[in-house]
Amino acid sequence: MQTASVTPDAISSVLSNPSFDSSSDRPEIVVQVVDLKPIGNRYTFSANDGKTKVKAIFTASLTPEIISGKIQNLCLIRLIDFTVNDISSKSTKYFLVTKCEAVGSVLDSEINLESNSQEEEEATTEPKRQKLDHSPAPVTPVSDVKMDVSTGITLKPKQDFVSKSASQIMSEQRGNAAPAARMSMTRRVHPLVSLNPYQGNWTIKVRVTNKGVMRNYKNARGEGCVFNVELTDEEGTQIQATMFNDAARKFYDRFQLGKVYYISRGSLKLANKQFKTIQNDYEMTLNDNSEVEEASSEEMFIPETKFNFIPIEELGMYVNQKELIDLIGVVQSVSPTMSIRRRTDNEMIPKRDITLADESKKTVVVSLWNDLATGIGQELLDMADKSPVIAIKSLKVGDFQGVSLSTISRSNVVINPESPEAKKLKSWFDSEGKEVSMSSIGSGMSPLAKNGSRSMYTDRVLLSQITSNPSLGEEKPVFLSTRAYISFIKPDQTMWYQACKTCNKKVTEALDSGYWCEGCQKKYEECSLRYIMAVKVTDSSGETWISSFNDEAEKILGCSADELNKLRSEEGEVNEYQTKLKEATWSCHAFRVSVTQNEYNGEKRQRVTVKGVAPVDFAAETRLLLQDISNKNNNQASQ
């Protein structure tokens, strides 16, 4: 059995070829792992081919292989998929290994072919010469053959031997390929998951899965235009790309929904978590110098859809949030198609409701809109008696009937997906789920109980129990109830924002007149004001600042933001604005709040947000106190 060894000169051949593509046809490359070290959740090493070393990084997906011992220091690995990247601060390159496999056993030392090359050359020179003497000679013109009379040996002219590097051989192979195949082979395509802001040159191959509209903006830095696209690669990884001004005008018509493009010379930065709608830590910016080239029909692909499923019982914390969710469930029922009149333009659009259930024994209603209602919806109606499993990507969570889900333009529905989650869910439903009594996730939730809240008198705590626990809400939002007094409202804070009267989202001033709504993709002549107010609350145990939005702030102040703005602009001996704020202080309320952790300047801070507010119900407060006394007496009796 032949012992596995490194591929000689593999690294130098790769580094000398700027158009090297690790995914194209090429001889396999085997290297030795040297100096394996952990850095964060990844591992770095030096790839050694016996003569040359190069810095390399294993992606996080290979970390389990290292922890399990399949990949170790001084072992040999076969590189299956990798890219060659530049270190921007240095004129050096490194390998980013995304897929590999261990070959052979771990060696005792580092392979060094240079030290043995001279001995091997001396040892093999004589046998090679003898072998050459016995090899068939090429046909040589008689006029070029000479005879050494003294020895009787026939002398032939020296044969020219041209050595070819790996890059030259690959170049010749490309020359023989078809034009489309030749184009694909000359590109070194990076997967989206491998990109980061510190990389040098890269090229990605992506499909446009969502395209925004061109919109104009006006701010303190001037006027301009902007639009964005959502891009998905073959592995299903997504990223948002944004273009401003000249770049927006240059690429707006070039990007077409559903087409595949090669993109290079863009830049990356950390995504703003407050506004991002896709799962990626980075967002891309393309400028006027960026390159966008449409791929040929031979290079098209259908992206793999990646899901991050949320159980139905955990949907409460996503209600009315900007974050979109993915859901998997068993179809319980499908309604006929109905037509709904859209408020913005009075257009009739089709809608269909489906009810889904999962292993949490909860159900939720999902509204399919437009083509999904008439296409996929009809297909689900025809097979509803078979209880198919469906997976839906990018759903918006609303508060209708407590919790409800709706598809949007970028939503994707897959019927009976071939995934472990789908098989597990179907197995559960067939074995026991079909006989289990299900309850709606929104059942029993009062109007005050939307946004993940329940009753003002469940999970009751004092303020000190919130502020004394700095890790509260670190993993996911925690919903609690409390009773406290409004002790201070800062009068000079930014208390409201300009909002669309239709969808309540923030609007920006249009270039000529009016206001532009990104949510409705329309311009309106007027807008409304909505609260984003911070107030200090106090109880017997302590105090803290809480954030209150429009509906809750109106109940605290007793007026709308538009009305308060009028009072602020009025002049007179009595400051009606200040008077209104003072009237709201030292009033007692029952609050339902969420506690989360936000990061500011690298420091984690606790954020308490009002999800519901109501006047104190003294009868309910009395019952709560009596219940607490009864519980304490029972505890003392049991001791």
Q: Which residues of 561-586 are buried (b: 16+ CB within 10 A; e: fewer)?
A: beebeeeeeeeeeeeebeebbeebee
Q: Looking at residue 525, what DSSP letter applies?
A: S
Residues forming beta bridges with residue 215, ordered by sequence position: 226
The residue that leads in pLDDT, 170 or 271, is 271
Tokens representing 51?
């003569």
- Measure the CA–CA gap between 447 and 181, rounded to whole angstroms: 60
Q: Are 283 and 271 in contact (CB under 8 A)?
A: yes
Q: What amino acid occupies position 111?
A: I
Mean pLDDT score, 245-264: 90
Lowest mean pLDDT among 254-263, 338-347, 586-595: 338-347
Do residues 296 and 183 lie in contact, with contact meaning Cβ atoms separated by under 8 Å? yes
Greatest distance between any 2 Cα atoms in the chain = 129
The counts of H helices and E strands in the chain are: 14, 31
492, 495, 498, 503: CA torsion to nearest 10: 180
Lowest mean pLDDT among 147-151, 324-328, 408-412, 436-440: 147-151
Residue 161 exposure: Cα atoms within 13 Å on the Cβ side: 3
Helix (H, G, I), strand (E, B) or coil at 616: coil
Where does the pLDDT of residue 182 fall: very low under 50, low under 70, confident under 90, or very high at 90 and above? very low
The residue-averaged pLDDT of 222-239 equals: 87
Cα-Cα end-to-end distance for the chain:
74
Q: Which residue do the tokens 């889904």 mark?
A: 356
Q: Which residue has the higher pLDDT, 5 or 542?
A: 542
Strand order in 522-524's β-sheet?
507-509, 515-517, 522-524
- Exposure letters 84-99 (e unless 16+ CB within 10 A, then b): bbeeeeeeebbbbbbe
Residue 195 banded pLDDT, cuts 50, 70, 90: confident
Confidence category of residue 564, pLDDT binned at 50, 70, 90: very high
| Least trusted range by pLDDT, from 213-217, 329-333, 354-358, 372-376 | 213-217
Name the more confident of 286 and 42.
286
Residues 6+ apart with CB under 8 A from 129: none
Of 322-326, 399-403, 532-536, 588-592, the poorest mean pLDDT is in 399-403
Instruction: Find out whether 590 and 552 touch, Cβ atoms under 8 Å.
Output: no
Above 70 in pLDDT, residue 436?
yes
Q: One-letter amino acid identity for 601?
A: N
Structure token pair of residue 558: 């007793």
% the chain with pLDDT above 90: 24
DSSP 3-state of 587: coil
The token duo for 332 is 């319980």
Q: How confident is the model at residue 426 (pLDDT cuts 50, 70, 90)?
A: very high
Provide CB contacts within 8 A for 95, sequence distance 6+.
47, 54, 55, 56, 57, 79, 82, 83, 84, 85
**Taking the CA atoms of the chain, what radius of gyration do you get in angstroms?**
34
Interval 106-137: pLDDT, tens: 888 888 876 655 555 555 544 444 444 444 44
The pLDDT value given to residue 180: 40
Q: 442: which residues sit within 8 A by CB, 6+ positions away?
A: 364, 401, 402, 403, 404
Which of 152-156, 195-199, 417-421, 557-561 is predicted least confidently? 152-156
**The pLDDT value given to residue 456:** 66
The rounded distance, in Å, linking the Cα atoms of 424 and 280 is: 27
- Quote the CA–CA distance of 551 and 546 in Å, as a whole number: 14
Q: What is the mean pLDDT of residues 610-631?
A: 83
For residue 23, pLDDT beyond 60: no
In sequence order, the 6+-apart residues with CB closer than 8 A to the CB of 147 are: 153, 154, 155
Token representation of residue 211: 């395209």
Cβ atoms of 510 and 521 within 8 Å: the answer is no
| Overall average pLDDT of the 59-84 stretch | 85
CB within 8 A of 582, min separation 6: which ones? none
Distance CA 16, CA 33 (A): 21
Residue 536 pLDDT class (50, 70, 90 cuts): very high
List, in order, residues 6 or more apart from 261 with CB less than 8 Å away: 205, 206, 207, 208, 255, 292, 293, 294, 295
Q: What is the mean pLDDT of the chain?
A: 79
pLDDT of 443: 56
Of the CA atoms within 13 Å of residue 557, those in its CB half-sphere come to 32
pLDDT value, residue 18: 56
Least trusted range by pLDDT, from 231-240, 313-322, 611-620? 313-322
Average pLDDT over residues 535-541: 94
Confidence of residue 496 (pLDDT cuts 50, 70, 90): very high
Is residue 228 scored above 60 in pLDDT? yes
Q: Does the pLDDT value for residue 279 go beyond 80?
A: no
Beta carbons of 157 and 174 less than 8 angstroms apart: no
| pLDDT tens column, 131-162 | 444 444 444 444 444 444 443 444 444 444 34
Query: In angstroms, rounded to a whole number, what is the distance separating the alpha carbons of residues 328 and 390?
Result: 6
Torsion angle in degrees (nearest 10) through CA of 228, 233, 236, 239:
-30
**Quick one: which H or E segment has residue 365?**
strand 362-369
**What number is the average pLDDT over the span 312-331?**
82
13-17, 259-263, 274-278: the lowest-pLDDT one: 274-278
